[in-house]
Amino acid sequence: MAHTGVAELLAAIAEGGGPPAHVAVIMDGNGRWAAEHDLARWEGHREGMAAVRETVEGSLEVGLSHLTLYAFSSENWGRPEEEVSALMGLLREFVDREKEELRSNGVRVRVFGEMDRLSAGAREAVRELEGHTREAGRLQLNLAISYGSRQEIVRAARILAARAAAGEIRPEDIDEGSLAGELYTGGWPDPDLLVRTSGEMRISNFLLWQIAYAELHVTDVLWPDFGRADLYRAILDFQGRDRRFGRV
């Protein structure tokens, strides 16, 4: 099915019962793509913006309700200052370039992570993008920026501990539901499918709680080369899985 066209892939997905509700993507390979094209790393990130657009358009076309993209991890702050600065600038560029089309296509954008670590300009871009698309309801696009899953879980535990210390809840009443509700993703459906590009076989501190029963799909395609056909192949792979959630 490697050379099957987009229309045929869409038809196969419809025949197989339709798409999952929520797909999450670890967008990996920008730096490697840039190196292969003898470009600076930040230019690989810029090229990756085109893959974001292609993936969003493909998600709309196939009928996803939630798409979550891992844009910038907490660990990425340790990268060279020049690369981090370029990434913050690309966030502003993405907002300026895409906000109108996202809203007109019914895409609501939610951004989650440690927003206080972003530059003032980047925080303003995030607020602008979320506000501009607030009324859209066809697809929820979640962007994980300055995000780490372990940090997210610690944050949720601290919130619950503070509530317990204040007498608002009893420690014995804390359960999976209450902890999940304090995560950045509280109220969203967990991902059904996690896609990772560039062939790396690791989770990279992404949605550790939320992907407990997600199906995993790893492709060797580098993120800037990822297109809607690659998304559809991942969904077809998902449709072929036998999801038992720990049961027989």
Given this model, what pLDDT does residue 224 score?
98
pLDDT of residue 3: 55
Contact (Cβ atoms closer than 8 angstroms) between residue 77 and residue 145: no
Q: Residue 13 corresponds to which tokens in the numbers above?
A: 């997905």
> CA–CA separation, 188 vs 210, rounded Å?
10
Question: How distant, in Å, are the alpha carbons of 16, 157, 169, 196 from that of 53?
Answer: 25, 35, 43, 17
pLDDT at 211: 98
Note down pLDDT in tens along the chain; length 248 residues.
445 799 999 999 999 999 999 999 999 999 999 999 999 999 999 999 999 999 999 999 999 999 999 999 999 999 999 999 999 999 999 999 999 999 999 999 999 999 999 999 999 999 999 999 999 999 999 999 999 999 999 999 999 999 999 999 999 999 999 999 999 999 999 999 999 999 999 999 999 999 999 999 999 999 999 999 999 999 999 999 987 776 65
Yes or no: say if 110 and 130 are a contact pair by the CB < 8 Å rule. Answer: yes
Domains along the chain with CATH numbers: 6-147+189-239 (3.40.1180.10), 148-186 (no CATH)
User: What is the phi/psi pair of residue 149, to 5°?
Assistant: -70, -40
Q: What is the amino acid identity at position 198?
A: S
142 belongs to the catalytic site: no
Q: Which of 54, 52, 60 is nearest to 90 (CA)?
A: 52
DSSP H or E run through 36: helix 30-36
Rounded distance between C-alpha atoms, residue 12 and residue 19, angstroms: 10
pLDDT at 248: 56
User: Active-site residue among 30, 38, 76, 192?
Assistant: 76
